Amino acid sequence: MSTPPRTPEVHSGPRPLRILQVIETGGPGGAETVFASLSQALADRGHHITCATADGTWLPGELQRRQLTRVPLHFGGAFDRGLLKRLRDLIIDLRIDIVHGHLFDGSVYAAMAAWSCGVPCIVTLHGQVDVARAGWRPWLKRTLLTRLGARVVTVSEALRQDLRESFGVAADRFVVIHNGVVSRGHLEASGTSHGAESGKKRVIAVGNIRRPKGYPILLDAIAALLERGVNVQLDIAGEPDREGLYESLLAQREALRLQDHVTFLGFVQDASNHIASADAFVLASTKEGFSLATVEAMLAGVP
């Protein structure tokens, strides 16, 4: 049985806008979560939203679940002229009023396509990892963004300061708009951890297995707590990487004899309920634009 189409709320302001949202990824993550939530909120206000995304393991299905229109994009090569043409065609054919690019590479293409069509563009950069690359190509992309983007948004003040130095432009060229989460009312414990039944204090960490998340440091910290007599269970919710970090974390867990105290849950569809069932939340990141999971923990009242 098909799901009935979404009924937008009545838009009380000026005429509804035709907005093209662009992102270069399709897997789970904070930027993708913001992308989907923002697109839905704009659609609920009566705007016409088209989401242009890469294929991936999570975002395409999530947009379909939210009944949002998606068109696939394929990113490839140092400079993908086909992708630029695809975005230009979408802007023209759909009579787009404004383009919103997310993350670094996707925003560069979004800004170029919008500028060539005479349409304003907003770009949102979600973390330092997007632009912390050396060489003439990243320099050129940073230059294009600052020249062609109507506004460059960062998700935190710290990120704005970092990017101001990376881009070499005045700080007032950036606008800070913090990430937020949608309140889900009463949250229920997920019951996925063995911590409660064994008398352990349960700690939850949420984030894909990536080097900036600092998981090796976190495993060392759990080992130190156990040495001090703290009976603790760590659950890590996040998609494993493809670069060997996940395997090295499994080896570290074995070397520290943490098999009974550290569980990798993999990707979970709704991390908020996992957070709500924990005794404490931990963020071990060495670099972070803005942690949605931390806000989720605050919303659930978890230390």
pLDDT in tens, 208-242: 999 999 999 999 999 999 999 999 999 999 999 98
Which pLDDT belongs to residue 188? 56
Using pLDDT thresholds of 50, 70 and 90, give the confidence band for residue 1.
Answer: very low
Mean of all residue pLDDT scores within the chain: 88
The pTM of this model reads: 0.85
Look at 205 and 287; give whichever has higher pLDDT.
Answer: 205
Average pLDDT over residues 1-10: 44
Is the dihedral angle over the CA atoms 181, 183, 189, 191 positive or is it negative? negative
Model pLDDT, residue 262: 98
Give pLDDT, residue 166.
78
- Summarised one tens digit per residue, pLDDT across range 147-203 is 887 788 999 998 888 888 778 777 677 899 998 887 665 555 554 444 455 689 999
